[in-house]
Amino acid sequence: MKKIIFIFFLPLITSIAFAREKESLVRDTLSTPFSLGRTNIECYFRGNFFSDNPSLTHSSAHFQFEDTWLNLQGDYNKALSYQVRFRLNRPLTITDLDNTAVGLDYAYLLYRLGKNRQWEVTIGKQCEAIGSYELTIHPLYEYIYGDYLNYVVNPFVAGAKVEYTFNNTQKIGFQLHNTLNESFHSFLEKRGFISPSLLPSKLPIGGLIYWKGEFWDHQFKTHYSYDLSQFAQGKYTHTFSLGNWLEVGKHLAYLDLYYAYMEADYGLLSSKILSQYEGRTPGNYEVYENTVYKGLISRYEYQITPLWSASAKGGIEFLGSRNSLNEHFRTHYIYALALQYAPFGNTDFRVHLAYIGKTVSYIEELKLPEEQLHRFSLGASYTLPVIKREKVKSKR
């Protein structure tokens, strides 16, 4: 991990020195009050009427205020940007490692430097820079997520990131991030796990490298990443993520592929199943070693008219162990179809009708029943602009 930290700080120190030498003496600064740029404060809402038909429990129908975000985002000047985003239906409980609220997604500063501002440095709580367009797309328009974002990775992390832009089609970057938002023991205890054979990492940090490319007149985009992180002492997680995006005319699609090998099971899904298989009860689940997670997630959207659009999403994910049973003892399918209507055109208000489903199956040795969920959703999403302020022109 010391090598990862050194590799991170070397380009950062080099870029700052280069920027100071090359940048003009006249530039926007925090001491220049007239350089204040744009500021947006928005609330995102999504509410639904759900009709749920699970295979193992009773059917139900109910209204639900599903998601609410408060987003503050803007540019102080050409060099400095910021974003703070809260999920208002999540608790404000402070986590004991990064000292942020559970409901806080983002709280970061982004600084651009270099002659052409080709370097970007981001510090604070931010999105993990994994190669996933499922994570990039606006959360209001995703109706179901797979295991990848729910268990395999930690989407919102405290850390620092450096990105370099070669040209308008190629970027590379490196990110140092916390593996967890809370301490090792808190993380396990809340989920009913113990770790008799594992110790907390002395450096629970990950190092992630990524490449972003754009091709065919910016119609095809790639975001590929590799992440090496430490969850328990001496135990590493290797995660490969390949995000692919295609946008042609009224058609938009992405395909995310991922593979994760965990020397200690950070995802805990494999460990939970193996613990139950061996007769353990909640509170005594054990963290297993050498687990594997892999899968693909894809989404397609078609803009039928300026007001109407349709989308479809599907995914298949596998998990297992190299030590017990096999690498595919659980298979997870997700699928969704949605029709969206935006009646006001220039206002981000949408009504949707959606079918959302998932199926979980297990190998015969586990003797677990197949799980299914069929959900029908009628709802609406809305972006409420609280404050929208464009750049204030200098009076001098």
CA distances in angstroms from 93 to 90, 294, 377, listed in the order given? 9, 32, 30
What is the CATH number assigned to the segment(s) 2-389? 2.40.160.10
In this prediction, residues 250-265 reach a mean pLDDT of 97
Whether 1 shows a pLDDT value over 80: the answer reads no
Q: What is the pTM of this model?
A: 0.87
Confidence of residue 209 (pLDDT cuts 50, 70, 90): very high
Q: Which of 380, 374, 357, 338 is nearest to 51 (CA)?
A: 374
321-334 pLDDT per residue, tens: 999 889 999 999 99
So what's the pLDDT on residue 70?
94
**Which pLDDT belongs to residue 129?**
96
Residue 36's pLDDT band (boundaries 50, 70, 90)? low
* Mean of pLDDT values over 18-42: 52
How much of the chain exceeds pLDDT 70, in percent?
A: 89
Is the pLDDT at 56 greater than 90? The verdict is no
Instruction: Indicate whether 394 pLDDT > 70.
Output: no
DSSP string, 237-301: EEEEEEEEEEEETTEEEEEEEEEEEEEE-SS-HHHHHHHHHTT--TT-EE--EEEEEEEEEEEEE
Tens of pLDDT, residue by residue over 337-381, are 999 999 987 778 999 999 999 999 999 999 999 999 999 999 999
pLDDT at 287 over 50: yes
Burial of residue 167 (number of CB atoms within 10 Å: 0-12, 13-18, 19+):
exposed
pLDDT digits (tens, 9 = 90+) for 138-154: 888 899 999 999 999 99
The answer on pLDDT for 25 being more than 50 is: no
Among 340, 349, 338, residue whose Cα is nearest residue 312? 338
Question: What's the pLDDT band for 388 if we cut at 50, 70, 90?
Answer: confident
Over residues 260-273, the pLDDT tens digits come to 999 999 999 999 99
Query: Which helix (DSSP H) or strand (DSSP E) does residue 68 occupy?
Result: strand 60-75
Contact 242, 257 (CB under 8 A): yes
* Span 118-123, average pLDDT: 97
Residue 93 phi/psi, 5-degree rounding, is -60, 135
236 pLDDT more than 60: yes
Tell me how crowded residue 373 is: count the other CB atoms within 10 A of its CB.
17
On the question of pLDDT at 35 being above 50, the answer is no
pLDDT of residue 279: 92
Amino acid 136: pLDDT = 87
Confidence bin at 21 (pLDDT 50/70/90): very low
